[in-house]
Amino acid sequence: MSSSSRKAALASIAGRTPTPAGNSFGSIAESFGINTFGIRQMRAKLPKDVFAKLQSAIRLGKKLDQEIAPTVAQAIKEWATSRGATHYTHWFLPQTGMTAEKHDAFLTFDENKSPLEQFSAAQLIQSEPDASSFPSGGLRATWEARGYTAWNPTSPVFIVESGNVSTLCIPSVFIGYNGEALDEMTPLLRSSDVLSEKAIKLLSVIGDKGVQRVGTTLGPEQEYFLIDRTHFALRPDLVMANRTLLGAPPPRGQQLEDHYFGGIPERIQACIAEVEQELYKLGVPIMTRHNEVAPCQFEMAPLFEETDIAVDHNQLVMSVLRRVAMRHGLQAILHEKPFAGVNGSGKHCNWSMSILADNELDGLNLLKPGKTPHQNVRFLLFLAAVLKGVHKHAGVLRAGIGTSGNEHRLGANEAPPAIISVFMGKTLTQLIEDIAGGKQAGKGAAEALISLGVAKLPEIEKDNTDRNRTSPFAFTGNKFEFRAVGASQSIAWPVTILNAAVAEAIEDLTEQLSAELKKTKKVDDAILKVVRAAFRSTGAVRFEGNNYSDAWVKEAAKRGLLNLRRSPEALAQMQTAGAKKLFTSLGILSKEELESRYHVRMERYVKDMLIEMTMQRELIDTMVLPAVYAYQGNLARAAAEARSAGIKEIPQIERANEIGALAKSLKARRDTLSKVTDKAEHMHDDLEGCAQLVTGPGADAMLAAREVCDTLELLVADDAWPLPKYREMLFPV
């Protein structure tokens, strides 16, 4: 590759016209969900009694009744083939952050060897992929590699149309021979069940009976970059590592703040509209689209849904984005920090708990303030549970977002720091502090609430100040927003941890409340007492100030809060006694399952880092240094010519020397990087040691080498520079 490919890329991009979005798309309402076998299709296609049984299994998160499976399988096959599907696949979330699928044809042969389209209940329910190569963290040795996928009926089956091929996808869990969780979905489903069970018990203790399920709700806001594919293809670092490992900052970054909520360029708009159209057909309720802060950065947010469905849907959002962007000559980049110096991408996970019941409690959001004193103490009780959970398990929550990508984003001035704290907003902070202060301790609940001004709670304004934006975990009126989550990761794991932490806190509060109720008969009085104790003990985790400030780092340390900057130290939190107790006592993960997850994540971190280190070395060796040496040679030749022509002032000499010195320094830094890389590559038996090496000396060596490369990029003639520059990638013409 030479700079001429870069110039050709620029010329071809400048000449491009926008591709219009597919115009066969009618209204959203007409197309919504047509590629899913959801409630609407099931009601139409299934016998009444079968529909009722399936519905109740889905609603309450129960297993599918084996008796109805053949009818359901038949109906699904008829629906799928009528929509052109020829193959089916169990679609699942291995611990790679991506989804996995292996397609099988709807094909069998009858006794006369005539081909038949067939799909049995057994095929719907279970499959045994040759899946020995998925990460299992040592849970499965390859000689006992059998893993099963099993349909998760709570998430509707769907058809993916890619090119001319339509495939029926069956959302599934992926488990080992003895039921060990090998995927991201199994622990999430377990955590939802546990939270539901604990919350139902707590509700029943406070007199709210008849609750069938307490579901968690999730609305993930996805941030991403869209850049031209021609540029992308010329950047091996983006292709290999999803982020630029070199690149001088452009003169104009995001300082003009002209991109945020700005008009969406036509070419991008066409792509996004087509992404949305595919997602609507898949039943993904995308609501919002807008430009983000960085140039070429955008956001897409759905209406919230039941957590496990929202997780599947977010996986679909990520894969449809990647696939459709290519059709438009664009590349979707979901990495947390693809471009140094401009904002990175996160995935704000809006989360709450809501009730399913046959009575008036149905649909109630437990994090939404109510109107009566009882409704409001109940709200405070569940709020207290979240504060307790996050306070106690801040370390594990940090581990849940500990990836190599997020490491560049957390604490990088535009994203929350690695310190997990909770923002409550002005009104609630005042209330919490008044309650914790015990001013009304002597009064009955009703009276206390009135004097605390809680009668006004329904009007709580979402405190959407700048302070809130800097918080990793903010209360936003009727839900919490876990903002520190990374853009490219599967959100199943951080949400599993959140569910678990809150479930444990709910259990704790239930015990305290039951004890309190032996002393007092007035439920609301008892609740307020328990809430007060919880508010008092969790004060350290609440922070309303500017999370980006250095003062907060000091203050957090004083409060004893963890500040885990690097991924290995964050992931180590999965091995603490507290983490083990959390997952095992709630039955969400066994000791071995948790251990395996720790290994998978550590290994992934090390692999990501090694890919970056080897890639950067290659870029330096095969692109940067050759370009620099060649340019230096040109300068020297020009200087020699000038000298022989008798010219006295020869500025090329100075520039050639300057570049020569930088090239020498780059070579030295490249050698340091190379040494660390070689050493790390031979540390297979020492995962922790290797992680320490790459996260410390490895990351430092990459930064040091980059620094010189970026200086050189601004000195070497533009014509001679081989890699697309930030200003070209981020400011398409």
Q: Which parts of this chain interact with ligand ADP (CB under 6 A)? A: 217-219, 221, 301-304, 350-352, 365, 476, 478-479
Residue with tokens 């794991």: 493
**How far, in Å, CA of 154 to CA of 306, rounded?**
9
User: Pick from ligand ADP, Mg ion, none: which does 352 bind, CB < 5 to 8 A by kind?
Assistant: ligand ADP
**How far, in Å, CA of 458 to CA of 25, rounded?**
41
- Token pair of 381, please? 């009780």
Shortest distance (Å) from residue 481 CB to ligand ADP: 6
Q: Is 228 helix (H, G, I), strand (E, B) or coil?
A: strand
User: Pick from ligand ADP, Mg ion, none: which does 478 bind, CB < 5 to 8 A by kind?
Assistant: ligand ADP
- SS3 per residue for 575-605: HCHHHHHHHHHCCCCCHHHHHHHHHHHHHHH
Which amino acid, 720? A
Nearest residue (CB) to Mg ion, 119 versus 304: 304
User: Pick from ligand ADP, Mg ion, none: which does 479 bind, CB < 5 to 8 A by kind?
Assistant: ligand ADP
H helices of 87-147, in order, are 121-125
| CA nearest to 54, candidates 70, 44, 65 | 65
The span from the first CA to the last CA of the chain, in angstroms, equals: 22
Nearest residue (CB) to ligand ADP, 496 versus 616: 496
Shortest distance (Å) from residue 216 CB to ligand ADP: 8
Question: Looking at beta carbons, which residue is closest to Mg ion?
Answer: 348
Shortest distance (Å) from residue 304 CB to ligand ADP: 3
Shortest distance (Å) from residue 59 CB to ligand ADP: 18
Torsion, Cα of 363, 364, 368, 374 (10° steps): 170
Query: Which residues from 327-386 bind Mg ion, rule CB under 5 A?
Result: 348
Torsion over CA: 276, 279, 280, 284 (sign): negative
Which amino acid, 38? G
User: Pick from ligand ADP, Mg ion, none: which does 302 bind, CB < 5 to 8 A by kind?
Assistant: ligand ADP
How many positions of this chain bind Mg ion (CB under 5 A)? 1
In order of 20, 75, 660, the CA distances from 32 in angstroms are 21, 20, 61
Non-local (6+) Cβ contacts of 447 within 8 A are 440
- C-alpha 330, offset from chain centre: 22
Nearest residue (CB) to Mg ion, 88 versus 482: 482
Shortest distance (Å) from residue 618 CB to ligand ADP: 40
Nearest residue (CB) to ligand ADP, 97 versus 302: 302
Question: Looking at beta carbons, which residue is closest to ligand ADP?
Answer: 219
Nearest residue (CB) to ligand ADP, 206 versus 301: 301
Nearest residue (CB) to Mg ion, 348 versus 601: 348
604 φ/ψ angles, rounded to the nearest 5 degrees: -60, -40
- Token pair of 261, please? 């909520």
Nearest residue (CB) to ligand ADP, 219 versus 472: 219
**How far, in Å, CA of 677 to CA of 679, rounded?**
5
Shortest distance (Å) from residue 386 CB to Mg ion: 17
219 φ/ψ angles, rounded to the nearest 5 degrees: -130, 95
Nearest residue (CB) to ligand ADP, 331 versus 352: 352
Shortest distance (Å) from residue 475 CB to ligand ADP: 11
User: Pick from Mg ion, ligand ADP, none: which does 184 bind, CB < 5 to 8 A by kind?
Assistant: none
**How far, in Å, CA of 583 to CA of 571, rounded?**
15
Shortest distance (Å) from residue 351 CB to ligand ADP: 6
- Token pair of 317, please? 């959002």
In order of 164, 273, 303, 424, 426, the CA distances from 462 in angstroms are 46, 30, 18, 9, 9
Nearest residue (CB) to ligand ADP, 134 versus 351: 351
**How far, in Å, CA of 732 to CA of 275, rounded?**
21
User: Pick from Mg ion, ligand ADP, none: which does 338 bind, CB < 5 to 8 A by kind?
Assistant: none
Nearest residue (CB) to ligand ADP, 303 versus 441: 303
- Token pair of 455, please? 């009668």
User: Pick from ligand ADP, Mg ion, none: which does 156 bind, CB < 5 to 8 A by kind?
Assistant: none
Shortest distance (Å) from residue 335 CB to ligand ADP: 22
Shortest distance (Å) from residue 217 CB to ligand ADP: 4
Nearest residue (CB) to ligand ADP, 368 versus 536: 368
Shortest distance (Å) from residue 68 CB to ligand ADP: 31
**How far, in Å, CA of 249 to CA of 590, rounded?**
47
Shortest distance (Å) from residue 349 CB to Mg ion: 10
Torsion, Cα of 184, 88, 320, 220 (10° steps): -30
Nearest residue (CB) to ligand ADP, 304 versus 583: 304
In order of 238, 282, 411, 627, the CA distances from 336 in angstroms are 12, 26, 12, 30
Q: Is 206 helix (H, G, I), strand (E, B) or coil?
A: coil
| Residues of this chain that bind Mg ion (CB under 5 A) | 348
